[in-house]
Amino acid sequence: MDAIRVAEVRSPAEIYDEQFVPALFGRFSGVVADAAGIRAGQRVLDVACGTGALACAAAERVGRGGAVVGLDANADMLAMARRKSGAIEWIDGRAEALPFPDCGFDVVVSQFGMMFFDDRPAALREMQRVLRPGGRLAVAVCDAVERSAGYGLLAALLQRLFGRQVADAFRAPFALGDPALLRSMCTQAALTRAEVNTVTATVRFASVEALVAAERACIWTLGGLLDDAQFDRLRQEARRALQPCVQGDGSIAFEMPALLISANRS
């Protein structure tokens, strides 16, 4: 059974955890944890925690003397996260209405979730609200797709093969890749001392076919948009289009920039 057919029988949360976390999200966890300055003994909240990559990285840093809470609105994601750690408290909830009292956390982090929030300034206000005075906020979003070598090539290929509607569906997670837009959101959220900086990590899939299979199964981008014949065509064309990113062992790797909002609560 090939990679694409395997992807079809996995749940969206399983696909996310088995393919996107090691290829992408897990690679940024240390970057975001570093930016947040997470250290031993702190109480940390991971907003839109998904299957727990960043929350688990935070738990390693805070140690037994600290505590980590992971929050997500997707029950399937939380179910996967609970399999990873019983030491982390996993909570069902929305970023725009965090179910916590004021000033309860030393650090609040969020990794590649804000693009999908209904009200992004409200979410930022909530994250600031639950921070203690002097607490640290770090929120990462994807930079513009054009600044990501591999994903930029794939977006251009999708538009050439299937038109703008399909390409724009793939581009959705990159919608906040504009520092000026993020600064405007921070202003709306009264994050007056926020900074927006670029951070990078290396995306790596086992092959071009594995990347295409993962995107096919992703309900947030291409899932359900293309039929079998179209995905076969995409897989064939992607081998050529993404050749600049293919490594000697057949894997595909490229640098992906992200934009990072960071702020300390006064």
Q: Give the model confidence (pLDDT) of 161-208 as tens digits.
A: 999 999 999 999 999 999 999 999 999 999 988 999 999 999 999 999
Count of domains in the chain?
Answer: 1
CATH number of the domain at 13, please.
3.40.50.150
The pLDDT-based confidence of 9 (bands split at 50, 70, 90) is low
- Sequence-distant (≥ 6) Cβ neighbours of residue 54 within 8 angstroms: 25, 28, 29, 32, 33, 46, 109, 111
Structure confidence at residue 19 (pLDDT):
87
Mean pLDDT on 229-251: 96
Structure confidence at residue 15 (pLDDT):
81
- Give yes or no for residue 1 having a pLDDT over 60: no
- Do residues 200 and 257 touch, judged by C-beta distance below 8 A? yes
- Do residues 257 and 265 touch, judged by C-beta distance below 8 A? no
- pTM for the predicted model, two decimal places: 0.92
Q: Is 144 helix (H, G, I), strand (E, B) or coil?
A: coil
- Give yes or no for residue 100 having a pLDDT over 70: yes
Q: What percent of the chain has pLDDT over 70?
A: 96
Q: What percent of the chain has pLDDT over 90?
A: 86
Strand 89-92 with 131-142, pairing: unpaired
Structure confidence at residue 193 (pLDDT):
87
The pair of structure tokens assigned to 139 is 């929120």
Parent domain of 87: 3-264
